[in-house]
Amino acid sequence: MTVLELAQVTKTYPGNPPVSALRSIELSIQAGELIGVVGPSGSGKSTLLQLAGTLEMPTSGLVRVAGADVSQLSDRDLSGLRACHIGFVFQQFFLLESLSALDNVAAGLIYRGEPRGHRLQVAAETLARVGLGHRLGHRPSQLSGGERQRVAIARALVGRPSIVLADEPTGNLDSIAGAGIIRLLRDLNAEGTTILMITHSSDLVVDLPRRVELLDGQIKSDRRSP
């Protein structure tokens, strides 16, 4: 089943001259895949992630998430799509300091209208899944960088989205913590989670089952491991 489809997608930012961030992108991701998108700075990988996450709209072309053409959706439906089908993991974590790890993860379900008790229960289970079952009441400032990113991953996973979009998830971590996060993403994928990860480091994606290389806004290669 296709969970994300980009067809002839172009993204151009206005300016003088206009900046072409993505050109004629064709990408289709099936449920259960783990894809690494790699490319140097300015290659368009962040723009690709934002379009896939419906945080931005393409200048032209089709973006389809969970079967829905995002250009046809209202703000409410787009928001619902993000709430139910897309999980985000950011390089800067974006955790709320005033909330505990448990509440931060439960916040991932807040716009799905689920009761607080249920949210907290699922959040606790998800934190246990990423190895932080013992850190539920800790504030972000009381956690290490690797633990914060695990909390952010738990928040992305808590709603069992169709796809998790990870933007340089190891960018703010040391090599040991970064390797731990990559291991976690692989484990989650092995359990059935679809993950699209972007990174500038080729080393991180070399072992991934599918690797897409971007250069100057175009897909240079799309390789799958045998």
Partner 1 sequence: MPHSAHALRRSHSGAHLRKSDLLSLASLGPRTRRLRAALSAGGIAIGVATVVAVVGLSQSSKAQLLAQLDLLGTNLLTVAPSQDVGGPQATLPKLAPAMVARIGRVQEVSSIGQVNAHVYRNDRIPDANTDALTVYAADPDLLTTLQGHMAHGEFLSAATNRYPAVVLGAETAQTLGVDRVDGATQLWLGHHYFTVIGILKPIPLAANLDRAALVGFPIATVLLHADGSPVTMYVRTDPDNSLSVASVLAATVNPAHPAAVTVNRPSDALAARAAAKDAFQNLLLGLGAVALLVGAIGIVNVMFIAVIERRTEIGLWRALGATRFYIGIQFITESILISLLGAVVGCLVGVVTVAVYSHQRQWTTDIPPLALVVIVACAAIVGAIAGLYPALRAARLAPIDALRSA
Nearer to partner 1, 93 or 213 (CB): 93
For partner 1, the binding residue among 18, 28, 94, 125 (CB under 8 A) is: 94
Cα Dmax for the chain: 53
For partner 1, the binding residue among 9, 48, 52, 81 (CB under 8 A) is: 81
Q: What whole-number distance in Å separates Cα of residue 179 and Cα of residue 187?
A: 12
Q: How many of the other CB atoms lie within 10 Å of CB of 172? A: 16
Nearer to partner 1, 96 or 190 (CB): 96
Q: What whole-number distance in Å separates Cα of residue 103 and Cα of residue 136?
A: 8
Stretch that binds partner 1, among 52-60, 135-143, 179-187, 203-211 (CB under 8 A): 52-60
Task: Determine the size of the site formed for partner 1 (CB under 8 A).
Answer: 40
Unique residue bearing structure tokens 């945080």: 55
Stretch 149-168 residues interacting with partner 1 (CB under 8 A): 155
Name residue 21's amino acid. A
Q: What whole-number distance in Å separates Cα of residue 89 and Cα of residue 135?
A: 19
For partner 1, the binding residue among 14, 15, 17, 115 (CB under 8 A) is: 115
Unique residue bearing structure tokens 């990423």: 130
Footprint on this chain of partner 1 (rule: CB under 8 A): 50, 53, 55-56, 64, 66-70, 72-77, 79-85, 88, 90, 92, 94, 96-99, 107-108, 110-113, 115-116, 155
